[in-house]
A and B are shown apart, each in its own frame.
Chain A
């Protein structure tokens, strides 16, 4: 608590000083994260990371001699609030770009505001809808669900497991995953033999799993964020379901292993490379960014940096690079963002273009398996 107060005072003092000392005004970047509420598991690491990286950029002398200033607000995961705060960032704080929001719902709500006011928005949420169709002012850093689905299906196709059961959570993340799972199945020659959902707050999924056990599924794919999937893993173990279990990238953090305990063993899931940064070969182009991010986060917050924080890291760095290339106004930042090529971030290698504002390829994901309470890369 004291630390927080101190850091707040420190920030206030440095802000006062910096405006006096440096002639060039800081560049204001807005941030909207769901730091409290149901999506806090996304918003908190995102805000922490954004603060951390902006501080570091400023310590290193800022961008082209100008400091960055992060104006960050908590949306509590509420779409109405996100819209109000986006308006506040644009009209009152006069930011040049906005990072966030954390969830797809909030992002969809904020998009009309960003488009109308012509301010670049770099969303940290995963929904494919955000950049499909492409919107002029909207970019995103979180990997599309379609890429994660592709990774799993590729593996299944290779191992000739064609009958799958899907079990998705009934929230934005699960709905988007379900859509992608169904849409891509045919392309990989996969048949969905059972399609069930569960509620975000459900504490027992034996009913769905019993039904799946009765089907001829060769693999179960569960799409959700903690704690639901941990319950699924535990229930599957209790019921003695031997069918291999796949999860989504929504649970790719140590938290899942903690929650599911022994039941997590053998579970496979697509994950951003940040999770296995130390296992990656030296030749991996993202390795430098990944290792430094994980180390920094550990030093600052005494916690493991996860790929959610990585979305914010990527967003800030993309902006920084755009400004470094000479962009200053919202519209020039937008143009420069669109010209981003081969940026090695946390989420993957970004290549934006006029047709693609998501920017990531299939290599953004690796398939990992949980063994002895740790991650192993599946070849």
Chain B
């Protein structure tokens, strides 16, 4: 447990000091989105990595959070800090109710059901023009404000988003190491065995699904208030798949892995921009290589790689 705490403190210090490196350039802006994506990846990882339940509809919950916050603060002029928890509670309740029938399914069927859920939510954003502004989006969402500080610059948003992301990281690590976390892993390995030792697998799956939706909704609200504009295109099926890729590339069942996956998938396109029209090919190629050679994700693959390099060097010295 002490080691976990040390890791978290080191991670927090790293995150808090990072802006000094960039001095407010545009990468600050990208790093804000790394924070939001980290939250989303952790949310999905709790479901997929720990409980072993796939979801291809998480962009939908993300979008619901964003739209609920957006509509409540623009059309109904709510305070953003009130809208955010209300949105999270609504999304959580919805996920809880939907969770019971949906999570009875397994494997491909579960993937299909969640996929459908995501697409339905997307269609609702698109078609309820009077409420959501339809495909041309919802604009004029206010920035967040606290104690006289308006979070309207990248640096301010960075600390706001990462402050909340760190809280989510800490919460998730604690959850993973608790009785609930162990129960989740038991469900992951064998639902029957878990039930035999007294875990209410069905309820637990629904609870973690709802929790995951709440975190996604929170990320969505924060996204809406930092972008100040939202449109349905940001919450489509593609984004659900991108989230899934983040979780798998980063490392299933690892909170820091989610951060690595989110950071990589958000930052990589920015670094590949120098390659002009070939960036997509390089991007795809790198992802394939990573899945092939680091099946456990970055969080296990990178230390492994270092160890291997170190070992082979050692071997060479002997010869």
Please report A residues at the B interface, Cβ cutoff 8 Å.
4, 8, 36, 73, 77-81, 83-84, 87-88, 90-92, 104-105, 108-109, 111-112, 116, 127, 129, 170-176, 197
Contact = CB atoms under 8 A, between A and B. Distances in A.
- Interface majority SS (helix, strand, loop, mixed), chain B: helix
Interface stretch (B47-55, B131-139, B190-198): B131-139
Contact of A36 (B30, B139, B280): B280
Interface string B267-309: 0011001001100100000000000000000000000000000
A92 B135 contact: no
A172 B129 contact: no
A80 B25 contact: no
A112 B26 contact: no
A78 B26 contact: no
Contact of B229 (A36, A73, A77, A108): A108
A79 B135 contact: no
Contacts of B276: 8
Contacts of B135: 105, 170-175
B26 A4 contact: no
Contact of A111 (B126, B139, B154): B139
A84 B33 contact: yes
A46 to B, nearest CB: 15
Nearest to B139: A108
Contact of A105 (B228, B233, B277): B233
B137 to A, nearest CB: 5
Contact of B233 (A79, A112, A176): A79
B26 A104 contact: no
Nearest to A73: B273
Dominant secondary structure at the A interface: helix
Interface in B1-58: 24-26, 29-30, 33
B26 A92 contact: yes
A127 B126 contact: no
A108 B29 contact: no
Contacts of B24: 91
Interface string B213-242: 000000000000001111101100000000
A83 B24 CA distance: 15
B136 A109 contact: no
A86 B26 CA distance: 9
B180 to A, nearest CB: 33
B277 A109 contact: no
Nearest to B29: A87
Contacts of A80: 33, 227, 234
A138 B8 CA distance: 45
Interface residues of B, number: 29
A351 to B, nearest CB: 26
The 4 closest A-B pairs by CB, nearest first: A88-B26, A172-B135, A105-B231, A172-B136
Given A79-B229, A83-B227, A175-B129, A108 B30 contact: no
A90 B154 CA distance: 13
Nearest to B279: A74
A108 B137 contact: yes
Contact of B126 (A87, A104, A129, A170): A170
Nearest to B228: A112
B150 to A, nearest CB: 11
Given A109-B227, A112-B229, A83 B134 contact: no
Interface in B128-160: 129, 134-137, 139, 152, 154
Contacts of A129: 136, 139
Given A79-B230, A84-B26, A175-B134, 15 more contacts: A73-B273, A77-B233, A80-B33, A80-B227, A80-B234, A81-B269, A84-B33, A88-B26, A90-B26, A92-B26, A108-B136, A112-B139, A173-B135, A174-B135, A175-B135
B189 interface: no
A314 B85 CA distance: 46
B138 to A, nearest CB: 9
Contact of B136 (A83, A84, A105): A105
23 contacts: A73-B273, A78-B233, A79-B230, A79-B231, A81-B269, A84-B30, A88-B26, A91-B24, A91-B26, A105-B136, A109-B137, A109-B227, A112-B139, A112-B229, A127-B136, A129-B136, A170-B127, A170-B135, A171-B126, A171-B135, A172-B134, A172-B135, A173-B135
Contact of B137 (A8, A79, A87, A112): A79
Contacts of B231: 79, 105, 108-109, 172
Nearest to B24: A91
Contacts of A84: 26, 29-30, 33, 270
